[in-house]
Amino acid sequence: MDRLKEKTAVITGAGSGIGRAAAVLMGREGARIVVADYDTAAAEETAALVEKAGGQALPATVDVTDEGSIADMIAATVREFGGVNVLCNHVGGTNPRTDLDVLRMDMEEFQRGIARNVTSTLLGTRHALPHMLRAGGGSIINTASVAALVGDVLQTAYGAVKAAVVSITKSTAVQYGPHNVRCNAIAPGAVLTPALENNLPESVVEDLKKGNALPYLGSPEDIGHTMVFLASEESRYLTGQLLVVDGGMTMQSSAAPGRRAQLPA
């Protein structure tokens, strides 16, 4: 219950999906949560859920593609809670309708993808770090994706920007490790959130399920629990790592689903 007692965690994109689940789970473990999202109503809803779970929450309206907005979010956190111990640079994604293959890529979407995923991660870290250094340490959790590890027929930008998030994670871990600031990334596989359910046809969701070693797709809480672990002292010896939380999707041979179907009963 108290794995994050006395810690303040800022979670961007906490108005929905994985970020909301992480906020509630961290709040339940005793953290003070800054629920940051550009959808103010969604941030307020999550903050109410955190408080219902017994935690303390501050909703914050932020656009992570705007440095001034990030600076305001961190300043409000310090004003309200006195510091920042955990930062989750969680907002991300690209528009699958315009993030296409190399030849048909919408270059404006490519640039938006960099801003939403990469620049936001760098700037969030840059604004939170001075407070972590002053406090003698902290934990930064960046959200990548299995798309950073494998090629796909579409969403070229998504793979590229998430790979960049992994690289920034390692640089941050090396540069600030001596000051006891840890930085790790998570690579979720297919997780049932509004982003996935609203964008992918049912047939693709079924294919994703077949591609997992485990017999189901992930829930936002499956990723949220990993984020709680990375935020807590239980992971104190872990830094610069990418934790792949994907139901076995990327470790499974592409032949496995077919071979499984041929197994004797």
The C-alpha atoms of residue 100 and residue 43 are separated, in whole angstroms, by 31
The active-site residue out of 38, 158, 216, 237 is: 158
Question: Three-class SS of residue 204?
Answer: helix
The C-alpha atoms of residue 162 and residue 182 are separated, in whole angstroms, by 19
Shortest Å distance, C-beta 66 to ligand NAD: 8
Name the residue among 155, 153, 36 with its Cα closest to residue 90: 36
Q: Which is nearer to ligand NAD, 4 or 147 (CB)?
A: 147
Q: Which is nearer to ligand NAD, 105 or 133 (CB)?
A: 105
DSSP output for 210-240: HHSSSSSPBPHHHHHHHHHHHHSGGGTT--S
Shortest Å distance, C-beta 259 to ligand NAD: 26
Name the residue among 16, 3, 19 with its Cα closest to residue 188: 19
Shortest Å distance, C-beta 168 to ligand NAD: 13
Q: Which is nearer to ligand NAD, 85 or 212 (CB)?
A: 212
Active site residue 38: no
Strand positions, DSSP E, the chain? 8-12, 32-37, 56-61, 86-89, 138-143, 181-188, 242-245
Q: Which is nearer to ligand NAD, 56 or 65 (CB)?
A: 65
Which spans of this chain sit near ligand NAD (rule: CB under 6 A)? 12-13, 15-19, 37-39, 42, 62-65, 90-93, 116, 143, 145, 188, 190-191, 193-196
* 8-12 and 86-89 strand pairing: parallel
Shortest Å distance, C-beta 62 to ligand NAD: 5
Query: Which are the catalytic amino acids?
Result: 158
